[in-house]
A and B are shown apart, each in its own frame.
Chain A
């Protein structure tokens, strides 16, 4: 069964304190792994797509990496406006279903 597990469930950081969020996955034939940001009461906002192990993508203070079993979302010198829930999802080759993890709630303190 395809599965996505994110850790930690919640993370509180001081402004400027760098850290990483983890996404472990099991899927039979990965088509793609996606990271999204979700603000309260809103739909998820797309951040990155990763397709193969070793791939990395960056956007401002965020950097996503991918191995054969997990992905990391690294956040460097975060600001309070980076506070949100970060969701990881995988898409399987056999049926194109997109399966989400439960997310990591990130809170950046000023």
Chain B
């Protein structure tokens, strides 16, 4: 079945450690996105990528990094520079142009 897979579903890390969240899609979509969602809040855009080896900062990119070496994969690294990393992280993908994005099931990151 085609879809977007985020892993792991739950992730716990100690403060000061970098952590990488995985996002893989087999929909042959060109564009991929990372969002952060805090309780009672909407989705805030962290990074997005429209083609391989290229990506743009969203509204809250500080403390995060991404790579897009393959069309299918768009991993997100939460670095120690991110001051409040505990949140629900959502990855999405879409066909280029005026089309909707489809989402994975999310990764809940807790930093202790």
Contact A43 B100 (CB under 8 A): no
- Please, which residue of chain A has its CB at the minimum distance from the CB of B45? A97
Q: How large is the interface on B (under 10, 10 to 19, 20 to 34, 35 or more residues)?
A: 20 to 34
Q: Is the CB of B48 within 8 A of A97?
A: yes
A100 and B31 contact, CB distance less than 8 A: no
Known interface pairs A41-B106, A42-B106, A44-B90; A98-B42 also in contact (CB < 8 Å): no
Determine the interface band of chain A, counting residues with CB < 8 A from chain B: 20 to 34
0 or 1 for each of A96-107: is its CB under 8 Å from B? (1 = yes) = 111111110000
Q: Judging by beta carbons under 8 Å apart, are B41 and A46 in contact?
A: no
Q: Are A31 and B90 in contact (CB under 8 A)?
A: no
- A100 touches which one: B42, B48, B102 (CB < 8 A)? B42
Chain A contact surface mostly:
strand
A103 to B92 alpha-carbon distance, docked (Å): 18
Dominant SS among interface residues on chain B: strand
A71 within 8 Å of B (CB atoms): no
A31 and B98 within 8 A (CB)? yes
Kindly identify, within residues 90 to 112 of chain B, every residue whose CB is under 8 Å from any CB belonging to chain A: 90, 92, 94, 96-106, 108
What are the residues of chain B within 8 A of A49 when measuring CB–CB?
A: 98-100
Interface string of A38-55 (1 = CB under 8 A from B): 000111111001010000
